[in-house]
Chain A
């Protein structure tokens, strides 16, 4: 839970979303991650630091490399986020019920 705010800001950046998308395919090194972006490796490393701080990725040491992968807990928060979307849609559809009832009543009146 303490990571939630950090996860939000981490996800708000399109490059970091791109990195996460790439990592859904499997582990990758900084060099591999930098390739599709017009960015230097230090710039990518800074993004990785943000993602790591937010608990979204983990890194291991392999010689001089530090390959990254998605943290197992990265998408545990999804259930909570899904619940928020559920609440927003529930409000929408409750309003739509009222609107539909009104449309129906109008139609009945017009038919009379």
Chain B
């Protein structure tokens, strides 16, 4: 199992890779089946996803809502652009805080690699400022570890 790599690319992209010890079919399903998504797409400790609605077909919409006892909640909405079972998902998403953040265009690919899967995540934001805003708002919401680090520095 390899660790996550995550880096910025150019002015508008964030690119990540991660290997999983399961076939592409299983990793792909875990990205589109709500009962599976709700078990892992939770971010830092303390958050749950009570609402996970999606319509995984081109043009289909989704809405995921997260909640945290201390910090309240937020949600994202988006649309699927392209779905190629079990190798590729293209979607667009935005966070509502409650103002929507700029659209994040995300391409996720799943490649068979040995007995497992190499997943590549490629996010594209409209411009450099939007990418900074996306990363900053991500930090603002529920990133306990970072706040603790910030407190330690203060």
Contact = CB atoms under 8 A, between A and B. Distances in A.
Interface string A85-105: 111111111011111110110
B102 interface: yes
Contact of A100 (B22, B41, B44): B22
A21 B135 contact: no
B30 interface: yes
A39 interface: no
A47 to B, nearest CB: 13
Contact of B135 (A12, A85, A100, A101): A85
Contacts, number: 126
Consensus secondary structure, chain A interface: helix
Given A95-B39, A100-B22, A85 B129 contact: no
A68 interface: no
A88 B137 contact: no
Given A21-B129, A91-B44, A92-B41, A84 B135 contact: yes
What range describes how many residues of A lie at the interface? Answer: 35 or more
A77 B133 CA distance: 11
Interface in B1-20: 1, 3-4, 6-8, 11, 14, 16, 18, 20
